[in-house]
Amino acid sequence: MSLSNLLNNWAALRETRPYEDQYKNSDYKWGMVVDLDACTGCNACTTACYAENNLPVVGKETFAKGQVMHWLRIERYWGDGEQLPEFPEQGAQFLPMMCQQCEAAPCEVVCPVGATHHTPDGLNSQVYNRCIGSRYCSANCPYKVRYFNWANYPEKAWPNPLEMQLNPDVTVRTKGVMEKCTFCVQRLTEAKNVARTQGRKVADGEVTTACAQACPASAISFGNLADPTSEVAKIWKQQQVKLAKDHQDKEEGARGYRIFEELRTYPSVLYLERVRDNEV
Amino acid sequence: MIDRSEEKDIVVEHRFIPRDQDIDDEIAWAKINTDVLQSMERPRPLYWVIFFASLLLFSWGVYCEIYQYQNGLGVADLNNPQVWGLYIATFIFWIGMSHSGTLLSAILLIMHADWRKPIFRFAEAMTTFSLMTAGLFVLVHLGRVWQFYYVVAYPNERWVWPNFNSPLVWDATAIGTYLTSSVVFLYFGMIPDLAICRDAASGFRKKFYWLLSLGWQGTDRQWANFRVAYLTIACFLIPLAVSVHSIVATDFAVSQQPGWHVTSFPPYFVAGALYSGCAAIITLFIILRYVFRFEAYMTMPILDKTCRLTFAIAMVWTYLNLIEYASVWYGNDMYAKQALIYRATGSYAPFWWAMNILGSIVPFALAFKSLRANLKIMMVVSLLLNLGMWLERFMIVTPTFAHGYYPWTWTNDWWPSWVQWGIVIGSFGWFTMLFMLFCKLFPTVSMYEVKEMVFHRKSSRQAKK
Amino acid sequence: MSTTAHTMALFNDFDGAAIALEELRSRKIPGFRMEDVTIKSPIEHPELSEMLGKRPVYVQVYTLVGAVLGALVGFTLIASAQANFLVQIRGGRPLVPIPPDMVITYELFILCGVLMTIVGCFIGWKLSGKRSPLYNVSISVDKIAIVVKADRNAISEINNIFSRNHSLEIIGE
């Protein structure tokens, strides 16, 4: 059975990804745009992510040890590397960083048990019950957006009755497994199911991630890159960024870029560069 | 007046043995048997002291692991991005140490360098036990240790297989193959010796050796098949040993992290492994020679040759080390260059400098004949060389995490916790315990091979006359 | 009462045993063949064994078969397993990538080669025919033994040859 499968599908089995227009005929390819000019660093997205995905609050000491569990982190960079002396808080730039759902994810290759893969709708999946916690995926991630459960956080994070607040659509992870941003896959699955029962595809704006939903400045946009009429697809096109290219031919002044593109991870998150205050 | 006219055969006890002769070829075979079998007699009190000390260290390691198992890996002070720490560094150290046995046994066998004959048995034992110790670390560093078997390709009802693209699965295959082949090689090569033990033993031990020696009687058929099989396995073991540590190196080399994505990592790791193993052979050589009074077999000329071999390998390692720095320094990859500068000047700089001094400068002590003849200095030097190699593994793993691609994740002053140190120390206790058990149950010098060595040297010396 | 008997003679060194073997071979005693002679020694001596006649060793055939089969079966198993996975696209690589498969195939090639070598050696030991019950512990120390299986009437003449050639001990069945 498996040998004939191997021989019949040899060409398909040898295909490498991503290739150009890979998702042209697909129903879904989830992508994101983050506008760094709009981001104020308020951390509402992070908090929403905590609430939506049952992330444990680890406490001050554990946080100081570097064992924090935020799937989406707001990184703070002081402008041009220096704090402005007159307005010390004004020079900061904020970068929301979450799993980039790379098309050629370095984490997927190295998991020894195959707990992480790429789904047909373009997400990097993490299978908690397969993970044995070797942490090679995190070692290989250039963005370091994978978070490991260093302790049995559920024991202490939600003392009764706080466990009532947990999202029933999302599992609670035990110690020893790796987790990361999933683009709120539970919302996506539900939206796809609803759409399928109605015999249609998910419309643009029908489903969004918790972080995009919570952002007061609408800095985060989420949608279906395979649908050319969706907002994110339009922004990607406008910024002349192609998913399957590691070096984009863009004109000067285009704000859109992907982080660490030269590493050929082909991330699915586009960042819109911040327009500098003094340039305006 | 004593009538001395009847004394015909005067047996001279202390003979003048030429200084560069590897072994005295007039040693009687019966004496070889007696000397080596005597090492397996009831141990003296010092043996028990050291054994229980190792047991204590191992127990401490076990306690640390139980604590970590129950509370999660956070107690090891690992974090994002420092996800691997000492466990992986020490794992690679132990795998590296295991290459010595293969080098001595297999490579020198194929080159017909018979000076390996008195020393390869304990080197092979060291290989086997190093691999067993390394296997411990594979388990210890997992987040969910109880599901380690997911890495094994066993048929299951969900048809879920491990990820064969992952270097860790290659590791599992390679180390499994290496452990199996090493144990087979060690046991198989011991069969004639186990027959000697069987013939000399009594009671329970006789039964034990009778079972293990598989009816060996030394017939010509048995010897002919044995020799061919032994040589064939040795021929397999050499490419296997090279491939095993190369595969361990690909754990890092296939990752694109700065400081790891280096093409020369596979040969660099293999050179480091041979280096580490040879230094450990020198250490154990000196210990066993003293403890079991094997001065007639583990002679100074053989130690001399082993030291020179270690020096040669040290220079190979030094070259590969320096060429890595040179190619990064003169290259255009700014990430790799920054990683190198961080290693030399960051929080871990003292260890980097120590590694380079211990790994490249201290081995020059092995280049001087007068120093090679000094057992105390060689003991200290060999331990320092191994320390240098452990530091090398640490310096490969930790600084890349501390100073990777992403500036926001850069961390300084990350140090492992007492739990990590405890488990590392425990592994040394485990290794020592296993090795000490081996010394008392099995002959640490290969009796039949030493007989062959003596026989061939004597016949060629007599043929020359 | 069986017609064959065994006898064993111990010698101090290989040269003494060689002379005895030479005489055994040249004498052509009825009821005795050179194939029924076994040498038991603490170390091997290929030249002495050659005097017994050509007895080929087949271990490496097993090795070759084992290694090649191991590699082929290994690659097929792994590639088929990869082809059968449900959700498996990883890192943009092909579903059946060649470099990882080559690495694992290589390791299995060596593993199966080693194991089959051992099997071949054990079979070679067993196939050497009935093992004579005669054995002396001094063989594992430093004596060389020649063990002969022959017709009962030939035994005394064989023992004569042994004692003429300075054998240390002659042990009968």
Contact B259, B340 (CB under 8 A): yes
| Same domain as C142, residue C91 | no
* Per-residue pLDDT reduced to its tens digit, B309-325: 999 999 999 999 999 99
Q: ∠ CA(A52), CA(A140), CA(A269), 5° rounding?
A: 50
Sequence-distant (6+) residues with CB within 8 A of B374 are none
Residues B17-22, mean pLDDT to the nearest whole number: 70
Greater confidence (B338 vs A279) lies with: B338
Would A2 be classed as within a structural domain? Answer: no
The predicted pLDDT at position B339 comes to 94
Best to test chain A binding among C84, C85, C89, C98 (most A CBs inside 10 Å):
C89
* Per-residue pLDDT reduced to its tens digit, B98-135: 988 887 788 888 888 888 999 999 999 999 999 999 99
Query: Looking at beta carbons, which residues of chain B come within 8 Å of A176?
Result: 72-73, 142-145
The predicted pLDDT at position A186 comes to 96
Q: How confident is the model at residue C95 (pLDDT cuts 50, 70, 90)?
A: confident
Would A7 be classed as within a structural domain? Answer: no
Residues A94-103, mean pLDDT to the nearest whole number: 94
Q: Do C118 and B195 touch (CB under 8 A)?
A: no
C-alpha to C-alpha distance for A235 and B151, rounded to whole angstroms: 42
Sequence-distant (6+) residues with CB within 8 A of A201 are A27, A28, A195, A227
Contact B429, B54 (CB under 8 A): yes
The predicted pLDDT at position A258 comes to 94
Find the Cα–Cα–Cα–Cα dihedral A233, A239, A243, A244, rounded to 10°: 140
In a 3-state reduction of DSSP, which class is residue A271? strand
Q: Which residues pair with C171 in a beta bridge?
A: C8
Query: Amino acid identity of C72?
Result: L
Sequence-distant (6+) residues with CB within 8 A of A156 are A56, A59
Q: How far, CA to CA in Å, does B62 sit from each of A48, B50, B126, B135, B428? A: 41, 18, 21, 14, 12
Residue C97 has pLDDT above 60, yes or no: yes
Would A150 be classed as within a structural domain? Answer: yes
| Number of other CB atoms surrounding residue B344 within 10 Å | 13
Greater confidence (C130 vs A165) lies with: A165
Q: Nearest residue on chain B to C135, judged by CA atoms?
A: B217
C-alpha to C-alpha distance for C78 and C100, rounded to whole angstroms: 10
In a 3-state reduction of DSSP, which class is residue A48? helix
C-alpha to C-alpha distance for B410 and B399, rounded to whole angstroms: 10
The predicted pLDDT at position B127 comes to 93
| Number of other CB atoms surrounding residue B19 within 10 Å | 10
Residue A37 has pLDDT above 50, yes or no: yes
- What backbone phi and psi angles, to 5 degrees, belong to A251? -85, 165
With 0-12 / 13-18 / 19 or more C-beta atoms within 10 angstroms meaning exposed / middle / buried, residue B373 is middle
CATH number at residue A243: 3.30.70.20
* Per-residue pLDDT reduced to its tens digit, B423-436: 999 999 999 999 99
For the record, the structure tokens of B308 come out as 């020179």
Instruction: Tell me which residue range forms the domain holding C98.
Output: 59-125
Contact B317, B268 (CB under 8 A): yes
**Nearest-CA distance C137 → chain A (Å):** 52
What sections of B292-374 are H helices per DSSP?
300-329, 334-345, 349-356, 369-372
DSSP B124-192: HHHHHHHHHHHHHHHHHT-SSGGGGGGGS----TT-----TTSHHHHHHHHHHHHHHHHHHHHHHHHHH
Query: Looking at beta carbons, which residues of chain C come within 8 Å of A117?
Result: 87-90
Q: How confident is the model at residue A90 (pLDDT cuts 50, 70, 90)?
A: low
Q: Nearest residue on chain B to A95, judged by CA atoms?
A: B408
Can you give the pTM of this predicted structure?
A: 0.92
Among residues B151, B130, B397, B384, the alpha carbon closest in space to that of B241 is found at B130
Q: Which other chains touch chain A, taking contact as 3+ CB pairs less than 8 Å apart?
A: B, C
Q: What percentage of chain C has pLDDT greater than the value 70?
A: 94
**Nearest-CA distance B462 → chain C (Å):** 13
Whose tokens are 């082929």? That residue is C72
Q: Which other chains touch chain B, taking contact as 3+ CB pairs less than 8 Å apart?
A: A, C
A124-126/A256-257 β-pairing: unpaired
Would A18 be classed as within a structural domain? Answer: no
For chain A, the average pLDDT equals: 89
Q: Nearest residue on chain A to C89, judged by CA atoms?
A: A118
* Per-residue pLDDT reduced to its tens digit, A171-230: 999 999 999 999 999 999 999 999 999 999 999 999 999 999 999 999 999 999 999 999
Q: How confident is the model at residue A14 (pLDDT cuts 50, 70, 90)?
A: confident
Residues B392-407, mean pLDDT to the nearest whole number: 94
Whether chain A has a CB inside 8 Å of the CB on C95: the answer is yes
Q: Nearest residue on chain C to B220, judged by CA atoms?
A: C39
Would A13 be classed as within a structural domain? Answer: no
Sequence-distant (6+) residues with CB within 8 A of B31 are none
A269-272/C4-11 β-pairing: unpaired
Q: How confident is the model at residue A280 (pLDDT cuts 50, 70, 90)?
A: very low
* Number of alpha carbons in the 13 Å side-chain half-sphere of residue C90: 28
Would A248 be classed as within a structural domain? Answer: yes
Q: Which other chains touch chain C, taking contact as 3+ CB pairs less than 8 Å apart?
A: A, B
Element (H, E) at C48: helix C46-50
Residue A17 has pLDDT above 70, yes or no: yes
Name the DSSP letter for residue C89. B
The predicted pLDDT at position B160 comes to 86
| Same domain as C99, residue C41 | no
Query: Among C42, C43, C118, whose Cβ lies nearest the Cβ of B184?
Result: C118
C-alpha to C-alpha distance for B427 and B62, rounded to whole angstroms: 9
Whether chain B has a CB inside 8 Å of the CB on C57: the answer is yes
- What backbone phi and psi angles, to 5 degrees, belong to A224? -105, 110
Q: Is A185 left (phi over 0), alpha (psi -120 to 50) or beta?
A: alpha
For the record, the structure tokens of A25 come out as 């005929």
Query: Among B199, B215, B226, whose Cβ lies nearest the Cβ of C121?
Result: B226
Would A67 be classed as within a structural domain? Answer: yes
Best to test chain B binding among C141, C143, C144, C147 (most B CBs inside 10 Å):
C141
Q: Does residue B18 have a cis bond before it (omega within 30 degrees)?
A: no
Q: How far, CA to CA in Å, does B92 sit from each of A125, A239, B274, B395? A: 30, 46, 12, 12
Residue C131 has pLDDT above 70, yes or no: no
Contact A116, A181 (CB under 8 A): no
Whether chain B has a CB inside 8 Å of the CB on C131: the answer is yes
The predicted pLDDT at position B18 comes to 60
Q: How far, CA to CA in Å, does B273 sit from each of A117, A142, A208, B96? A: 34, 29, 52, 4
* Per-residue pLDDT reduced to its tens digit, B261-296: 999 999 999 999 999 999 999 999 999 999 998 988
Contact B269, B249 (CB under 8 A): yes
Domains present along chain B, CATH in parentheses: 25-40+78-415+442-457 (1.20.1630.10)
**Nearest-CA distance B160 → chain A (Å):** 9
| Same domain as C120, residue C64 | yes
* Among A240-244, B343-347, B378-382, the least confident range: A240-244
Query: Number of CB pairs < 8 Å for A and B?
Result: 140
Residues C145-158, mean pLDDT to the nearest whole number: 82
| Same domain as C30, residue C65 | no
Instruction: Tell me which residue range forms the domain holding A140.
Output: 23-80+87-272
The predicted pLDDT at position A278 comes to 55
Element (H, E) at B380: helix B375-402
Quote the number of domains for chain A.
1
Quote the number of domains for chain C.
2
| Same domain as C111, residue C78 | yes
A256-257/C37-40 β-pairing: unpaired
The predicted pLDDT at position C128 comes to 60
Would A16 be classed as within a structural domain? Answer: no
Q: Nearest residue on chain C to B238, judged by CA atoms?
A: C110
* Per-residue pLDDT reduced to its tens digit, B326-369: 999 999 899 999 999 999 999 999 999 999 999 999 999 999 99
Whose tokens are 């939206």? That residue is A191
Whose tokens are 């990869």? That residue is C82
